[in-house]
Structure 1
């Protein structure tokens, strides 16, 4: 493991020890996750050893796992090691979660479900155990965890605040963080100061001469492992300069030549397998040597400080020992050891990997076995493992066409698990082969990315469109749809240009079935105005019929793009149930973000707040920055409308994300939000400055569709800030667009804008026309129209007539929680001669969005476990939230929840599947 604690102790680590001890002391009150980072030999493992000891002294249960380099290709190996002591609790898990963990751990032949369902199952398992005895999760060498285990443990780490669980992970510098997120603290271990370093060296080598002591202190430079090991290193006489890590490896490797041959062979097979099973290592070493090797062979290796043996486990003193042994062996020696391991290990996939490691020439039989192993890994959810197996299979494939196919499949998997560097390497390796035309089309698609790779948007859109057209001609309709959707999404997130958009529309209408809801989504991104009438007609036609989850989500996103936000909310609410049940948190986060945006635009601020809050958390889990930006925009606007004074930080972060991926849709959303916030605050000039950017084609925030959503806001800002003449041609332009599409939000905004811009003798008729429209599903727009109408009547000295619309506006704003707008209606009523009572905030407004969502579900009668399963939280976290919620609402039981939060708020829209 790490530094020899008997020699080095934990000298100079008091601040880190104190911080971790505080977490252990507080574990019964709050959970936490910490990542300890530092260079090789800095003492990370020693610090984890201290955590284990301190936890045991406090009566806490310790669950530990160690990332192993050779197991990065074995999905869920690290998680299985950690959770193995808890598997007796599996029968108590909800059935979907129990099945998920069993599939992930290979305990059944079922395909592993979505990763986040496995994450929820692991969280429930750990949380249930912590309810009996607080738990400390210890993860060493986290940088070597297999990717599925790292993702699940990251999911768990972000949900520990209300659990009696502390997670402490350690990883070496030079790797991306194995655990990340705002809920994960980080401690970086620096090198020891001079005094601490002298203390460690004095303990290790008290007999050193002063000159040697000064030399070693300078060479070790405060690295604890170097201070312990370098005094034992024999002097080098070749004069070659080495890094500190290389010096340490040399120090360990220098102990090998004096060991018996059987010991060196035993160490080599153990170093190549990494599993740590002494019995397996002895069996492989015996096969390698042709005679029995016993545990006695370890004695000399233990004596020189290379390994430790405890029962049936063989542990290397430090990862550098393992690396030194591998490096010291010749290629032929390593190949023979791999063959011995392949012949003795249990588990088909482990055997295959060792046979592959031993191969030094193309071997089609081994390549085929690796491809089978990749399929098994993918079935268990191990995308990274499947990618690695296919890449190795490609290298061992003799036929160039077959090799290209395997490389490209590996590249697709690397894209799926978010490794563009691996994708690039695999595509470069494929490009030098004689690749058939169909496979070159796949290369194009992989290189361009399927959704959010917005670098050269124009070229990427054209390439994806052409590949889709070829797929359609070849009869591959599903592939064609996928490619066209990817190209169409680029038309939303950025602007590919009129020519590329027209070509894409032509291919979509020629290649796809226009009656399929999935195709309607594609059309909405490509031609929301020119095909607006068709889209509205077909979306409304399917609104009352049954839709599967994918089509309900597609219909919701299409309805949102074409401006029918109430319809979008309904479709997406329907889709959420299936997405939750399947554990498809990436798609769920996207659906929630679009639902939040849609709810914001109709004034359903409670729903917008809860959906955006959950979307933000899930977007972080599933690495979707664009959806995270949409959630930030909605959260900021809702906070401002409901009374928050400073929301610019969230909007600035959303803008940063938009600039990072060069998405004018995100930037337009930010400007739209800034304009709404300024109007909410009565700052009309500021609102004009923000919103006018949407109409400037040269502005990075220009977006024709988002501009159509904001026309009413733009006119209101213009009329009250002296920009009437400038806004009129913009309105005329949008009037021309409105003639091509029935977009509800555009027509509502234009009717509002016409009334505001009208002369005194025309305004009455235009206000009446605007109010006569069906605004039932648009409460915020209706209340703003009533406020504007009442204010106009009062200015026309028709005070008595003004009061009815002003009262209606006030009451709606109050019900929606739009505090500033309600105050504005009260001001107008006072000016008309009528006093209003101040608004009394409702108790539920004290709740955070997540608390409100939990209260809604509890009010529907769901148990804590059912709520946790729905929201991908543990039931303990739900219970903690409810304990906070009750005092805020002034209640003491769940029975009173529905009355406390109001019937409207109690109507949850998060779906009903319990998982």
Structure 2
């Protein structure tokens, strides 16, 4: 075995890697090696693997292959292959999801238990959690390095799993090292994983490398190679060979771009090889694996005679491939590209057909080779591709699903089948936000003979992209007409889902009564019960004022089996929160969150947590609001829901504004405003104004607060939103009273009183109970305060505390000092229980001004716990084990243990049994 030559000019990079490896037993780390083709990523990764092994770390490997990128979880299959036996020890749902992802179990193969059904569409995250669990268990006995090379060609499912794992390595003795090319939209970039960007070698290092590997060049040749290579290590190795091949011919005056030039060099080298060796290389190039045995078998089919490993030696001698341990791999990806580009179309098809023949026991891999080998139509292959596309879509391999649907359409033997598959492709591309793909596929489908339902689906897709649907809904009639066509043609489920989207648009942009009537009429035509959860949410969003009573009434009469599904719970919660019944909505959202955690539906979980955070915030449950918003923001970033992340950040900004952290609140408001303005997102713009108004109010700038908050109530302002304006009623009333602008806001409150007569909206009515005495004249104020306090605000503790504060302040300013102390004391205690620090300080100052000593309690332990630590502590106090908590929060049980080790001293406890009392004390 030849000695490994040292890497030249990479001392800095190797130092970074050494530091990470050295820290592995104590903490987990991730590093992404990023750079252009040939820059030395693979060499650096290989050296990292050697150093890790020398340190006693165990190394798991996977490598991306361009032709393998269409196979979901192919990279994960490589990575976990050496430890597949550990999958058997996973919890049931994780075990089932990971087995299904790796293709080792199906619903009918007899290996899945009763709880091990095939995964749902959102079970991708159960696969990711299962991977994290397996890797951390493997790392328990000795630190592990997961080494993934050429990740830009690893399937996207595996890349998302790697990003998921890499974010959660805080307490694990594990390193994830990934090499990939530059791509600003690549998953690891969006995940903000630590990066080490490789640039070209310095002039000195480049000269040393060239002298070491090609010392016989002439001075002119040496100068040319150094100039053209620009520090690229692969070019420094390969260009001397190309120049030598010129055999004394004049050097060309100009050169092709570096990558093309190197591909040409590889191709020229391959052309000199024996025909059988070239056939073998083409098989390796089109293959989606690196197993030597299957490549030899396929090459034998191509040439019609047995092919042996010895016939690969010429390719090894010319440094095109490496062979060892039963594997054959191209020395560099550009060599693979060169072989593929220089081959004929018929040659590539023959290689694919041969691989399909030898891969009879691996149906997914075999299918793609069959599809690549087909000339003309093949309905059976098309049907198999359609099934593969549905599986890929299930695992969020959206790009793969689109490609499979399109290829299936091309192979279809009828216009009907082709149209159906093109529509699937377009709808899947729409999920990616790929307008270019949708338009191309829709244009192709429109030329076919489609049925009425297919035409309706096609029209729906075109309208979604052609209209600025979320910014203007001046005419929703075409959308409702398409929904009606879907219903008439028998697809009631699709029609109800699309009608729900129309109602969301109506709530988002508030187009007026005409749109409301249009949607409600379509609801009445839908052959579904009136208490169907989706219809309830549709009605609530279409008519949040006029149908609020009906929505609240119907939800109170729902049977248990109607709301046992997490999605049904989410929809009912959405219906109730839209009409202001936040206390009831919070219960449904909490149940939905629990169910979505169990099912691993992280995308929906992020959105539901945002809804729960807003409910908790408005009701005064600020601990839950903080933890829900924090988790929602993290999960939304991870699952690709920027709208949910933005809304979660706004909850955090509102809490900060109420707590006097104005700088943070204004910063978030400005960032979100830029995002929301470009999208015409009225709800986010309304929340932005709420944040600014509350932050100004907390700083005592009452007039500025009025200016900010009034925009939400101005129908001509982009920030106007009728339903969300109810969140600002209390703040506007206090701000106006504080700067004597009550007459200026009188018209707004008169309109709100008229709305309150039409709806039982609990949020609006609670807010108006506060506003009436705050805006009343001196003669009517006291009666208003007493009436509001007697009307019951038990579901609105923050509103009640503010009402007590307002009443106590009013009494003190009326020189009724002794009487003012009791409501001020109650307000201070209420604010303290909520964790509203700045409001507690305000009440304490007023109480001291009344002559009663009042000291702000010491720093709350609540504030010393992060949101995630608070979640962990609450779950541990409820009796969940570390593993159960990890499953709920999508963390490893070791990370949960690390959180608890930090939580105990913060709460001054020494055991889990003390957590319940410690947490309870935080609320007193």
The Cα of 1:70 is off from its aligned counterpart by 1.9
Matching residue of 1:12: 9
Cα distance in 1 between the residues matched to 2:608 and 2:165 = 22
- Deviation digits for residues 539-569 of structure 1 (CA, Å, limit 9, x no counterpart): 3344988722222211111221111221111
The Cα of 1:604 is off from its aligned counterpart by 0.6
Matching residue of 1:72: 69
Matching residue of 2:748: 730
The Cα of 1:209 is off from its aligned counterpart by 1.4
Checking the alignment, whether the CA contact within 8 Å between 1:63 and 1:138 is kept in structure 2 is yes
The Cα of 1:470 is off from its aligned counterpart by 1.5
Cα distance in 2 between the residues matched to 1:376 and 1:611 = 31
Q: 1:524 aligns with which of 525, 540, 551?
A: 540
CA spacing shift, 1:513–1:5, aligned 2, 3 Å: farther
Verify: 1:800 aligned to 2:837, yes or no: no
Matching residue of 2:506: 491
Cα distance in 2 between the residues matched to 1:671 and 1:338 = 60
Q: 2:643 aligns with which of 626, 635, 644?
A: 626
Checking the alignment, whether the CA contact within 8 Å between 2:840 and 2:856 is kept in structure 1 is no
- Deviation digits for residues 581-604 of structure 1 (CA, Å, limit 9, x no counterpart): 111111111111100011001111
Checking the alignment, whether the CA contact within 8 Å between 1:444 and 1:463 is kept in structure 2 is no
Cα distance in 2 between the residues matched to 1:145 and 1:826 = 60
- Aligned pairs for 1:81-480 within 5 A: 81-110=78-107, 111-113=118-120, 114-174=123-183, 176-181=185-190, 184-233=193-242, 234-235=245-246, 242-346=256-360, 347-375=362-390, 377=392, 382-416=397-431, 419-447=434-462, 457-458=472-473, 461-480=476-495
Task: Name the stretch that deviates more: 569-578 or 348-357.
Answer: 348-357
Cα distance in 2 between the residues matched to 1:681 and 1:29 = 45
Task: Name the stretch that deviates more: 133-142 or 259-268.
Answer: 133-142
Matching residue of 1:37: 34
Cα distance in 2 between the residues matched to 1:764 and 1:47 = 76
RCO higher in structure (CA 8 A, sep ≥6) = 1
- Deviation digits for residues 80-137 of structure 1 (CA, Å, limit 9, x no counterpart): 1111222222232212211211121111113234111111111111111122111111
Cα distance in 2 between the residues matched to 1:528 and 1:50 = 63
Cα distance in 2 between the residues matched to 1:424 and 1:734 = 45
Verify: 1:536 aligned to 2:543, yes or no: no
Cα distance in 2 between the residues matched to 1:626 and 1:543 = 32
- Aligned pairs for 1:704-853 within 5 A: 704-853=722-871
SS at structure 2 position matched to 1:853: helix
- Deviation digits for residues 225-254 of structure 1 (CA, Å, limit 9, x no counterpart): 111101111349898852111100001011
- Deviation digits for residues 705-753 of structure 1 (CA, Å, limit 9, x no counterpart): 1112211211211221242222111111211211211111111222222
The Cα of 1:381 is off from its aligned counterpart by 6.4
- Aligned pairs for 1:687-706 within 5 A: 687-706=705-724
CA spacing shift, 1:423–1:36, aligned 2, 3 Å: farther
- Deviation digits for residues 661-688 of structure 1 (CA, Å, limit 9, x no counterpart): 3311011112212222332333323322
The Cα of 1:531 is off from its aligned counterpart by 1.4
Q: 2:572 aligns with which of 539, 551, 555?
A: 555
Matching residue of 2:624: 607
CA spacing shift, 1:423–1:171, aligned 2, 3 Å: farther
Q: RMSD across aligned C-alpha pairs, in angstroms? A: 2.5
The Cα of 1:782 is off from its aligned counterpart by 0.3
The Cα of 1:264 is off from its aligned counterpart by 0.5
Task: Name the stretch that deviates more: 317-326 or 24-33.
Answer: 24-33
Task: Name the stretch that deviates more: 897-906 or 212-221.
Answer: 897-906
Checking the alignment, whether the CA contact within 8 Å between 1:681 and 1:820 is kept in structure 2 is no
Matching residue of 1:859: 877
Cα distance in 2 between the residues matched to 1:681 and 1:169 = 48
Task: Name the stretch that deviates more: 647-656 or 699-708.
Answer: 647-656
SS at structure 1 position matched to 2:256: coil
The Cα of 1:292 is off from its aligned counterpart by 0.8
SS at structure 1 position matched to 2:290: coil
- Deviation digits for residues 299-347 of structure 1 (CA, Å, limit 9, x no counterpart): 1101111000012100101111011001111112112222222222242
Task: Name the stretch that deviates more: 602-611 or 541-550.
Answer: 541-550
The Cα of 1:843 is off from its aligned counterpart by 2.2
Checking the alignment, whether the CA contact within 8 Å between 1:626 and 1:657 is kept in structure 2 is no
- Deviation digits for residues 860-897 of structure 1 (CA, Å, limit 9, x no counterpart): 11111111011111101111111111111122221221
CA spacing shift, 1:167–1:446, aligned 2, 3 Å: farther
The Cα of 1:140 is off from its aligned counterpart by 1.2
The Cα of 1:700 is off from its aligned counterpart by 2.2
Cα distance in 1 between the residues matched to 2:826 and 2:612 = 27
Task: Name the stretch that deviates more: 410-419 or 339-348.
Answer: 410-419
CA spacing shift, 1:174–1:640, aligned 2, 3 Å: closer
The Cα of 1:449 is off from its aligned counterpart by 5.2
The Cα of 1:456 is off from its aligned counterpart by 5.3
Checking the alignment, whether the CA contact within 8 Å between 2:66 and 2:154 is kept in structure 1 is yes
Cα distance in 2 between the residues matched to 1:676 and 1:491 = 27
Matching residue of 1:911: none
Cα distance in 1 between the residues matched to 2:456 and 2:397 = 26
The Cα of 1:478 is off from its aligned counterpart by 1.1
SS at structure 2 position matched to 1:466: helix
Cα distance in 2 between the residues matched to 1:594 and 1:132 = 42
Matching residue of 1:596: 613
Checking the alignment, whether the CA contact within 8 Å between 2:31 and 2:193 is kept in structure 1 is yes
Verify: 1:874 aligned to 2:887, yes or no: no
Checking the alignment, whether the CA contact within 8 Å between 2:573 and 2:586 is kept in structure 1 is yes
The Cα of 1:407 is off from its aligned counterpart by 1.1
Task: Name the stretch that deviates more: 418-427 or 291-300.
Answer: 418-427
Checking the alignment, whether the CA contact within 8 Å between 1:672 and 1:690 is kept in structure 2 is yes
Task: Name the stretch that deviates more: 676-685 or 558-567.
Answer: 676-685
SS at structure 2 position matched to 1:902: helix
SS at structure 2 position matched to 1:838: coil
Cα distance in 1 between the residues matched to 2:182 and 2:864 = 43
Cα distance in 2 between the residues matched to 1:227 and 1:864 = 53
CA spacing shift, 1:594–1:448, aligned 2, 3 Å: farther
Verify: 1:893 aligned to 2:911, yes or no: yes
Matching residue of 1:587: 604
Cα distance in 2 between the residues matched to 1:822 and 1:379 = 50
Cα distance in 2 between the residues matched to 1:5 and 1:413 = 50
- Normalising by structure 1, we get a TM-score of 0.94
